[in-house]
Amino acid sequence: MARIVHYLNQFFIGAGGEDAAASPPASQPGPVGPGRRLAQLLGDEHEIVATVSCGDDDAAGRPEAIAEIVALVQEAQPDLVVAGPAFTSGRYGLACARVAAAAKAAGLDAVAAMHPDNPGIDEAGAAPVVASGEAARLMGPALDTLSAAVKKILAGEALTDADGLVGLAPRLPRMADRSAAERAVDLALARLAGDREATEVPLPRFDKVTPAPPVEDLARATVAIVTEGALVPDDNPGALESARATKWLRYSLAGRDELKPGEWRSVHGGFSTVWANADPHRILPLDAARQLERDGAIGHLHEEYLVTAGNGTSVANARRFGVEWAADLRHSGARAAILTAT
Amino acid sequence: MRAVHRVQSVGMGEATTWRDGALTVSAEEAQALVSAPCLADVRVSWASPGDSVRIVKVLDVVEPRTKGPGGAGVFPGWIDGAPADGPTHVLRTAAVVVAGYLPRAQEAVIDMSGPAAELSPFGGTHNLVIEFTPGPGADWADVDDALRRGSLALAARLAEAALDAPPDSEESLADPGPVDGLPRIGAVTNLQTQGLFKDVFVRGESFNGRAPALIDPAEIDDGAVVSGQYGHPSLRNPTWVHQNHPVANALRARHGRDLAFAGVVLAPEPVSASEKARISAEAARLCADAGFDAVILTKEGGGNADADVALKMDALEDMGIAAIGLFAEMAGPDGTGPPIVVAPERATAMISTGNYDTRLDLPEMERALGGEELALLGVPATSAMQLPTAVILASLSPLGWGRLTCAQDG
């Protein structure tokens, strides 16, 4: 009999919604919530021995959270970890994917379930992800897919598209026989001969972001400024990259009313930073934000700003930054953010 | 007509000479050609294919070419050479490389051996590397201008050494024009023209703010397009690549056989979205007026430059002209991200020139040129390191030089 640990967020263990999103990692014996149905579907051959949970903000926003979750998972000595389904929930999907990836890296079998558009897909590492629908009303079919995938993995078989396996097949580098220019000529002639399908690059699918509802009482809300304009203290103490950023940083605005030239610098590699450095407010409008704060238009300006460099950044990293920023800002009480872009 | 002299060996000597494939350079003469009031010091040295050398902070690369003494007929607008007819003398497999710090320049790397050597056009050329120290208080724009004039003058001077020597081969180049019964295929070459240190020059003048224009590809061969564009290293087109315009050459090679080479349109890459749309519409109309049946479009620069290709592709397809775009992928280190930043909406025919994010493990080198440190990683330039393909100069071949590509099945 295989031992299984199920990972869920605060909502699906019944601890609460956004009010409980900061709750730390926890473990309880046996299946909980959707885990009960999953246990039924898995039958007598397999047992969900424990359910490990964590609040979405904590799991996606605190760097140590995933390691703590995996430590709790390992205490139950499972053969396999199953995470989700997370549907289209970004923070939950990221957590499920990271837990599955870390469990896989620790030598356990693992599988996560989420909607194919969930940004977590990019973070699952070597762990497989199977598809779910968009929202919890589709829990039934999601658990059917997930339980079948668990059985197949425990039987030692690899998942395929037919099992609901999602995630893009990687596009790998290779050397062609001929130059790009010569291949382009071939493609032009094929296209003129009526072949409308020929291409070396499939058209990418892009996410559509649904805007959050308006902030109800802006005069009482804490508002953050975040930027991809790579504005950092002049000596760039966090070594933010000028292109292809792999990280984001935070710097305090506490007690500051302005950003003096010479003390701050944009390290962005994608535009001329002369004018940004001459007046850092062009990237991070602290002066205007403090004025809005004084005028009572906003409650408070968040005490720190979050920053990265948006220049050649991979979509996977950009998505991750977005989810982490959302979790971090929620965690610290900000209810709105102004993203200044360059 | 090109008179091609193939460089077999290189060295330094008393005088700049060419003898039976051996190129000898007078360092003193080379330094004098590049020196300028804004430069405190100029140094030259050779790096050849197979050498254990890493060149960092590469700015531009130029192929030695001239039509006569004093840079006659090449690099119009930059050196004082008289206009000239007759064959262009080319030192094939040689290059003049400028390397050193300039503000806003993104750090570009050429490895002369190891896995990155075959990815860059310049891992396979004998490179005369110009290093420099700016004078005290020198204006960076003056430094950039002096390096450009100096490297072009030096490239012309090297080719001049072979003017009287019999060439190894002569290349006859097809001029664009109609051929009965064959489809007319042209090229649109986008130039990243976005201000100081990110600019491209046509006949000596910035192409920033100019309208799309047809150009005789023979002019490009002779150095009408000169790069001062130091953005994304893998996604730039150094002057050398323009001189050897891969799309024009691929079309010429098949002119009269299964297609008619229809011409080259140069287009600027402006910064704003509305200007990108306007320039794209103008370029598409120019292609239609010129009677192109199909167009191969290329870019230079990062994600925003995808829009300059994608918008033109859609505009061309809307006019019934087949559009083929060359794109570098930005699909993340494992190749699972969306490959294109701005994809066409109606056109679909795309060539992949490789993935920007693919990691390369590069070996330790005996010698570094261009700087002692790779600033990007804060490590000695000679050390073993892992870098994304993005940092290897011209490796993602925006103008179509390279063979790197990506595919799902690996």
Residues of B in contact with A171 (CB under 8 A): 329, 331, 335-336, 339, 352, 355, 406-408
In this prediction, residues A117-140 reach a mean pLDDT of: 90
Element (H, E) at B345: none
Assign B255 to helix, strand or coil: strand
A170 contacts B408? CB cut-off 8 A: yes
| Mean pLDDT of the residues in chain B | 96
**Pairwise CB contact (< 8 Å): B404 & A173:** yes
Distance from CA of A267 to the nearest CA of B (A): 9
A171, A185, A269 ranked by CB distance to B408: nearest: A171
pLDDT given at position A207: 66
To the nearest whole Å, the CA of A52 is away from the closest chain B CA by 29
When mean pLDDT is compared across A326-335, B184-193, B298-307, the lowest value belongs to A326-335
- At residue A91, the 3 state secondary structure works out as helix
Q: Answer yes or no: do B403 and A314 touch at CB < 8 A.
A: no
Q: Which residue of A has its CA nearest to B189?
A: A181
CB contacts, 8 Å: A201 with chain B: 327, 329, 339-340, 350-352, 406
pLDDT value for B266: 98
Q: Which pLDDT score, from 0 to 100, does residue B316 have? A: 98
Is pLDDT of B104 > 90? Answer: no
- What SS3 state is found at A54? strand
Alpha helices (runs of H) in B75-216, residue ranges in sequence order: 140-160
β-bridge partners, B263: B186
CA separation for the pair A193, A184 (Å, rounded) = 14
Split at pLDDT 50, 70, 90, the class of A168 is low
Average pLDDT for residues A271-285, to the nearest whole number? 93
- The number of residues making up chain B comes to 410
A181/B399 touch (CB, cutoff 8 Å), yes or no: yes
Cα dist from A126 to A123, A265, B132, B276, B358, whole Å: 9, 38, 47, 40, 18
Chain A partners within 8 Å of B324 (Cβ): 184, 187-188, 191
- Chain-chain contact of A204 with B339 (C-beta, under 8 angstroms): yes
User: What pLDDT does A185 receive?
Assistant: 98
Residue-averaged pLDDT of chain A: 92
Ranking A71-75, A266-270, B9-13, B405-409 by mean pLDDT, the lowest is B405-409
Residues of chain A with C-beta less than 8 angstroms from the C-beta of B395: none
Give the tens place of pLDDT for each residue, B301-351.
Answer: 998 999 999 999 999 999 999 999 999 999 888 887 778 889 999 999 999
Q: Would the CB atoms of B104 and A174 count as touching at under 8 Å?
A: no
What are the beta bridge partners of residue A224?
Answer: A337
* CA distances from residue A69 to A19, A52, A171, B105, B342 in whole angstroms, order as listed: 20, 7, 32, 44, 38
Out of B196, B330, B337, the one facing A312 most closely (by C-beta) is B330
Distance CA B313, CA B317 (A): 6
Give the confidence band of B372 by pLDDT, cuts at 50, 70, 90.
very high
User: Is B348 within 8 Å of A167 when comparing Cβ atoms?
Assistant: no
pLDDT of residue A263: 96
d(CA B63, CA A126): 46
Helix orientation angle between B273-289 and B303-318, rounded to the nearest 10 degrees = 40
Is A196–B231 a contact, with Cβ atoms under 8 angstroms apart?
no
pTM over 0.80: no
Q: Are B199 and B209 in contact (CB under 8 A)?
A: no
pLDDT, average across residues A26-39: 96
Per CB-CB distance under 8 Å, the chain A contacts of B353 are 180
Distance CA B287, CA B293 (A): 9
C-alpha dist (Å) from residue B99 to A116, A215, B95, B244, B327: 45, 52, 12, 21, 27
User: Which among A203, A243, A314 is the nearest to B337, CB-wise?
Assistant: A314
Indicate the pLDDT class of residue A211, thresholds 50, 70 and 90: confident
Q: CB–CB of A171 and B351 under 8 A?
A: no
Q: How confident is the model at residue B410 (pLDDT cuts 50, 70, 90)?
A: very low
Partner residue facing A191 (CB), from B304, B349, B408: B349
* Architecture of the A2-166 domain: 3-Layer(aba) Sandwich (3.40)
- For residues B204-229, give the mean pLDDT: 97
Contacts of A315 in chain B (CB under 8 A): 330, 332, 337-338
Size of interface A-B (CB pairs under 8 A): 201
More confident residue, A327 or B201: B201
Task: Tell me if A266 sits within 8 A of A311, measured CB to CB.
Answer: no
In a mutagenesis test of the B interface, which of A118, A185, A315 is the best target, namely the one with the most B β-carbons within 10 Å?
Answer: A185
Partner residue facing A174 (CB), from B258, B293, B405: B405
Q: Give the closest of B258, B304, B335 to A189, CB-based.
A: B258
Provide, as residue numbers in chain A, all residues whose Cβ is less than 8 Å from the Cβ of B355.
171, 173
Q: Provide the sign of the torsion angle of the four alpha carbons A331, A332, A338, A342, taken in this order.
A: negative
pLDDT, residue A205, reads 64
Mean pLDDT of A288-313: 95
Strand extents, DSSP E, B196-293: 198-202, 205-206, 213-215, 225-229, 260-268
CB nearest to B303's CB, from A167, A181, A312: A312
Whole-angstrom CA distances from A118 to A1, A197, B2, B14, B245 are: 32, 28, 56, 66, 42
Rounded to 10 deg, the angle between the B140-160 and B27-34 helix axes is: 140
Q: Which pair of structure tokens corresponds to residue A144? A: 């059917």
- What residues in B contact A176, CB-CB < 8 Å? 403-405
Looking at the complex, report in whole angstroms how far the Cα of residue A89 sits from the nearest Cα belonging to chain B: 19
Least confident of A75-79, A207-211, A319-323, B294-298: A207-211
Chain A residue with the nearest C-alpha to that of B327 = A201
At residue B349, the pLDDT reads: 97
In angstroms, what CA-CA distances link B392 with A201, A253, B298, B326, B360? 22, 38, 19, 18, 10
Under the banding of pLDDT at 50, 70 and 90, the label for residue A210 is confident
Q: Which residue ranges make up each domain of chain A?
A: 2-166, 218-340
CB-CB under 8 Å, A169 with B338: no
Give the best residue of B336, B379, B404 to mutate against chain A (max A CB count within 10 A). B336
Instruction: Return the CA Rg of chain A.
Output: 23
**A131-156 pLDDT, tens digit each:** 999 999 999 999 999 999 999 999 99
**Phi-psi domain of B367 (left: phi exceeds 0; alpha: psi -120 through 50; beta: other):** beta
Residue A314 pLDDT grade (very low, low, confident, very high; cuts 50, 70, 90): confident
ipTM of predicted assembly, 2 dp: 0.97
Q: Is the pLDDT of residue B180 over 80?
A: yes
pLDDT of B403 strictly over 80: yes
Residue of A nearest to B332 (CA): A314
DSSP H helices in B11-139? 27-34
**pLDDT (0 to 100) of residue A206:** 65
pLDDT of residue A170: 79
Mean pLDDT of B32-51: 98
Whether residue B265 is predicted with pLDDT greater than 70 in this model: the reply is yes
The region of weakest confidence among A19-33, B74-88, B127-141 is: B74-88
